[in-house]
Structure 1
Amino acid sequence: MKTFSRSFIVFLAAIVLLGLPFQASKVSAASSEETLSTYFPGDIDDHWAYDELDNFVNADLLKGSLDSAGNTLVKPDLAISRAEFVAILVRALGLTTADAGKTFADVPAGKWYTDPIRVASSLGIVNGLTETTFGPNELIKRGEIATMVVRAFESSVKFEGEAKTFSDVPEYFATPFIAKASQAGIVRGATATTFKPYANATRAEAVVMVQRALDLQAGSLPEDATLTTLIDEYETKETEVVNSQDFTKLGDVLDKYMTGYAKAQNAVDYQDYSELAKEGYTLTLEKLTPQKYEITLKTDRFAAIHATGSTYKVTVKGKTDADTQTQNVPRDGYYLLKKMDDNSWKIYMFASDTDDASGE
């Protein structure tokens, strides 16, 4: 199950607020909660690829669809098309180019997949099924995915080690790419000795292969200070806004420092604090001890940082002394960050150590 992201102020003040007669209105938060629900697909719990699927959903790399009851589904065991996979690959790597790319008769202008295919073909990541057709709606094969992943990551991943030998991989265009992907552990085979290169890949298999490659990216690593300074700035700015009691400015904090699930979760949480202010409560934060950071994962585009050691004095003043609560709250948890298309970094997940947090 997903570890719940909590906003900075919600985490710090949650225990304090339990002692207050405060009930936030959810009417104004309806649209934010609807957005948040898209990060809880109902068909990935207990799936073998849950961790990778959940991470992709949190980071806005994998989009689900709504069923007739309004539930979000990502359909992990459904076969994935060539266009869908290219879109995920381009999104995950943040690939851009102004080049025209190859012209395919079956990729008209204006389709949702037109630009991702243009970008990927321009960069030499994908070719067509023929010289003039791409086959966007054709189901992608496992061998094709291995080929595209190796091409996409060849400049940022070291393909080292011993290649696995699969008894069912013949000599064809994907053979050297499957071998290279196996060297890096990006593919591990359908069984110990087989790969099933011509089998249709599922959405889960596609996500797992891309996630494994992303975890190996080390062509242009960010400086540690780039990541930790972002967190420091976020906490400082949010504290300033909270102490000013101008909760309308918290949206600006979200826009600058957050994306994905963290942004959606905090948008809902911030509604509670706006209601808190309207009911006459005053929330103040005082940082008592500094934050310490351990970077547990750092790649070209993603990072996981364990923050520990800081404590905040949290005070919620009510209309009477009986409604006033003060408590010192430790601030420990994991931040997950991603690199955006404009090369900035943003937080897409936070999990406190009081939850079942384990980083990536």
Structure 2
Amino acid sequence: MNKKHSRRAWALITAAVVAPCVAVLPTEAATMPFKDIKNSGSEAELYKAVSELYGLGIVFGTTSTTFSPYQQLTRGEAAYFLAEALKLDTKNVENPGFNDVPTSHTYYGHIAALAAQGIIQKGTNYSPNNYMKRSQMAKILTLGFNLQQATTLSAPFADFTEDVETNQYIQTLLNYGITEGTSSTTFSPYMDIGRGQMALFLYRTLQKNDNHLYIISVE
């Protein structure tokens, strides 16, 4: 069969719920411009995740040829990644009133869009240059994709936070198989998350999420 005609055509059917539309992963990865991730061994899944998310405009590199997967992710970058994955309107937004996120800020539209959806809380500051923590990542992914939240904690982590709701977000991602602990008994909720880790978690969430968008493959 001719390669051109063997490519899959994707038909998209939205679910009958009121929820943000989410991005659809392409059948073929876009050309990967980043040279600091290998398409082999332990980085193979990361390579695929970054390649496909980059092709969708969800993630971006630190330069034209580097993604810096092990560099800490800022809260501003996290807002961009998630808002783009959810296909939120980042132009027509209401100012959430963060003192440290003026309308001229690079990530203003993305941060404002998440605040409007209740994915991040409005307040005095957002701290866009601070690093995103693993527990914070669990919260924004759970809320952003309307994942079915865990009601009980079954993970054997001795370092769960003191906040029950935060622990439920962590358990939710564990239940979905989106993330795992840093060891058999620790989750490290206050550890900074890396750019590559966030790309992986977003990619896995998009693959597992079926509450908003169904994908049908047609030959």
| TM-score calculated relative to the size of structure 1 | 0.47
Distance 1:101 1:181 in 2: 30
| C-alpha distance after superposition, 1:107-148 (max 9, x if no partner) | 0012220000000000000125xx300000001111110011
Matches for 1:48-197 after TM superposition, within 5 Å: 48=43, 49-66=46-63, 72-96=65-89, 98-100=92-94, 102-127=96-121, 131-154=123-146, 157-159=147-149, 163-172=154-163, 174-197=166-189
Larger gyration radius, structure 1 or structure 2: 1
Among all aligned residue pairs of Structure 1 and Structure 2, give the percentage whose two residues are the same amino acid: 24
Of the candidates 192, 200, 212, which is equivalent to residue 192 of structure 2? 200
Distance 1:38 1:214 in 2: 20
User: In the alignment, is the contact (CA less than 8 A) between 1:56 and 1:62 conserved in 2?
Assistant: yes
Amino acid aligned to 1:196: S
1:43 maps onto 2:39 in alignment: no
* Contiguous gaps of at least 5 residues in structure 1: 1-6, 12-36, 229-292, 294-360
More displaced 10-residue stretch of structure 1: 178-187 or 52-61:
52-61
User: In the alignment, is the contact (CA less than 8 A) between 1:53 and 1:207 conserved in 2?
Assistant: yes
User: In the alignment, is the contact (CA less than 8 A) between 2:74 and 2:128 conserved in 1?
Assistant: yes
Q: CA deviation at 1:185?
A: 1.5
Amino acid aligned to 2:82: L
Q: CA deviation at 1:170?
A: 2.4
Distance 1:52 1:178 in 2: 21
Matches for 1:260-299 after TM superposition, within 5 Å: 293=219
Decide whether aligned partners of structure 1 residues 134 and 80 sit closer, same or farther in structure 2, where only a CA change above 3 A counts: same
Q: CA deviation at 1:177?
A: 1.0
User: In the alignment, is the contact (CA less than 8 A) between 1:101 and 1:119 conserved in 2?
Assistant: no
User: In the alignment, is the contact (CA less than 8 A) between 2:149 and 2:169 conserved in 1?
Assistant: no
Q: CA deviation at 1:99?
A: 4.8
User: In the alignment, is the contact (CA less than 8 A) between 1:141 and 1:198 conserved in 2?
Assistant: yes
Judging by fraction of residues, say which structure has more strand.
1
Amino acid aligned to 1:90: A
Q: CA deviation at 1:207?
A: 1.1
Query: Does 1 or 2 have the higher relative contact order (CA < 8 Å, sep 6+)?
Result: 2
Distance 1:84 1:137 in 2: 9
Q: Which residue of 2 aligns with 1:209?
A: 201
User: In the alignment, is the contact (CA less than 8 A) between 2:131 and 2:192 conserved in 1?
Assistant: yes
Decide whether aligned partners of structure 1 residues 94 and 163 sit closer, same or farther in structure 2, where only a CA change above 3 A counts: farther
Please give the secondary structure, in 2, of the residue aligned with 1:50: helix
Please give the secondary structure, in 2, of the residue aligned with 1:215: helix
| C-alpha distance after superposition, 1:132-169 (max 9, x if no partner) | 00000001111110011101011xx4457974231111
User: In the alignment, is the contact (CA less than 8 A) between 2:31 and 2:51 conserved in 1?
Assistant: no
How many residues are treated as equivalent by the alignment? 187
Q: Which residue of 1 aligns with 2:22?
A: none
Please give the secondary structure, in 2, of the residue aligned with 1:80: coil
Distance 2:154 2:117 in 1: 26
Matches for 1:4-15 after TM superposition, within 5 Å: 8=4
Amino acid aligned to 1:126: I
Amino acid aligned to 1:64: G
Amino acid aligned to 1:169: F
| C-alpha distance after superposition, 1:2-38 (max 9, x if no partner) | xxxxx839x9xxxxxxxxxxxxxxxxxxxxxxxxx97
Amino acid aligned to 2:55: N
| TM-score calculated relative to the size of structure 2 | 0.75
